[in-house]
A and B are shown apart, each in its own frame.
Chain A
Amino acid sequence: MRAQFVLSETWIGLRRNLTMTIAVITTVAISLTLFGAGLLVNQQVSEMRSYWDERITLTVYMCNEISPTQTCQESGPATDEDRQALEDTLDGLAEVQSYDYLTAAEAWQDFQERLGSSNEALAEAAQEGDIPDNYRVQLTDPSHYDTVRAAVEGAPGVDTVSDDQQVLEQFFGLLDGLRAAALVLAGVQLAAAALLIGNTIRLSAYSRRRETGIMRLVGASNFYIQLPFLLEGAVAGLIGGIIASGFIVATRFTLLTQIEDWFQFDVALGTGSLLYVIGVSVILGVLLCTITSFLTLRRYLKI
């Protein structure tokens, strides 16, 4: 009896303020979508960071006949002595975990393998010898990047030291910006949603003041009087959250998949993270709506 009564009152309240309810649901859905997208990007960035932290390598390219840099032009292709000196340097650095030497032929082979399937034109245009022989240096800790880099840069026969991390940092910076923008927008939208919910509940309380007045007189408990209004807010929040979940899933499979495709990262967000983001968003929506309803009722519903 209780449950049925409360639910039917909730339903009546939602239907009576249909336009306001729709406005609330829309605002909540948009804000939660932005919030969820922000969370997704956040998770993606942190997963990619740890992925790259594990794999970050320093590639030291040696000079060859066609190297365009000035140092190589002056000193000519790297000699075996240059290579030996560089290997000694690397051996002496505590920050270096290990390194591999790739001959020009091996480097070309590796390049073909990596790029061959996704960019055939570029793979075909490159010839053996275009890519100089190089050292792939594995670091004990990615934060030592700069130290190692400084030690080998400018050594005789060294052409360039690859700059992966800077490129990555720019990319991560972009994602961080995206996330911040999404979260700020989500915050503004959530504030607007809260105000809308407050107004809706206020309207609802006003249009049902006759019922609540009688309930008060015959001794209905405060909780029982308030519950339909709280549920009204919660249901609006829940529906908004469910709609937002759809958009969040869509975001996952469009925006993030695109990002992964661009950068050929082997980092896909798992279903677990997706469910986590959806769960957090829906709970946030329901809580926000319920709490706002509660605060509104304290002001506008005499009990």
Chain B
Amino acid sequence: MIHFDNVTKVYPTQKRPALDGVSIDVDKGEFVFLVGPSGSGKSTFLRLVLKEEKPDKGRVHVAGKDLSRLSNWKVPHLRRRIGCVFQDFRLLPNKNVFENVAFALEVIGKPRRFIRKVVPEVVELVGLEGKAGRMPHELSGGEQQRVAIARAFVNRPQILLADEPTGNIDPATSIGIMKVLDRINRTGTTVVMATHDAAIVDSMRKRVIELEEGLVVRDQTRGVYGQAY
């Protein structure tokens, strides 16, 4: 599903590569934790998957497509197959829960009837049934993140990328978020989650890829966050 072949990415303002000859394979339906200290290359990995950045060396394949051969105008179609969740939720403050989720479908031109049908399903899937009319400021951090996950998942992407989704949420609430991500993973969606949250990684017992200074230093199935932390 995601295939990195000897990928190197150097940002113009930095000497050290953000990713240095990284090769990673993530299969369909996998749940992968991406761990490592800040600046280890986790975010760069996610940005390369989205084709927000181009690698300087190596090749990136996502959902069977070679991204270096993907023309710019086709990038939106790639992104429709990828859902994204961030630490800061990125909800629209002037839209309620339903509208925030529906926005993702409206802007890719889905018909209104389809939106009316699928949005409530996804809102329920993330555990927000009965809260579709709430505004973001009326929700807790955990609930806001559930809205963001619903928005990322409503178009049934093949891949869900989560960049520290529990970074702004207390540990008890984080468990709920992880359950939602796990539920999404069980529908066959590949989930890649970058995180610093050792407790979550240890409890989930999923594949762990550890990056350090742009290199893969560990790739464990059913791994833990790591002894060093």
Contacts and interface: CB of A to CB of B under 8 A. Distances in A.
Contacts of B84: 217-218
B92 A214 contact: yes
Interface in B95-122: 103-104, 106-112, 115
Q: Which of A216, A217, A220 has the most CB of B within 10 A?
A: A217
B73 A215 contact: no
Interface residues on A, range: 10 to 19
Given A213-B90, A218-B155, A5 B107 contact: yes
A122 interface: no
Interface residues of B, number: 26
B79 A216 contact: yes
A97 to B, nearest CB: 67
Contacts of A1: 106, 109-112, 115
Interface string A200-240: 00000000001101111111111011000000000000000
A258 B111 CA distance: 58
A188 B115 CA distance: 49
B69 interface: no
B178 interface: no
Contact of B106 (A5, A210, A217, A221): A5
Contacts of B103: 211, 214, 218
Contacts of A211: 92, 103
Contacts of B226: none
A222 B78 CA distance: 13
A215 B106 CA distance: 9
A299 interface: no
Given A214-B103, A215-B107, A222 B76 contact: yes
Given A5-B107, A215-B107, A222 B92 contact: no
A58 B84 CA distance: 85
Contact of A224 (B107, B111, B155): B107
Nearest to A224: B107
A214 B109 contact: no
B151 interface: yes
A298 interface: no
Nearest to A2: B109
B151 A218 contact: yes
A219 B80 contact: yes
A210 B76 contact: no
Interface of B: 50, 73, 76-84, 90, 92, 103-104, 106-112, 115, 151-152, 155
A-B CB proximity, top 9 nearest: A219-B80, A219-B79, A220-B107, A218-B104, A219-B76, A215-B107, A1-B112, A221-B76, A217-B84
Given A214-B103, A219-B155, A221-B108, 17 more contacts: A1-B106, A2-B109, A5-B107, A211-B92, A214-B92, A214-B151, A217-B50, A217-B84, A218-B83, A218-B103, A218-B152, A219-B77, A219-B80, A219-B82, A219-B108, A221-B76, A222-B73
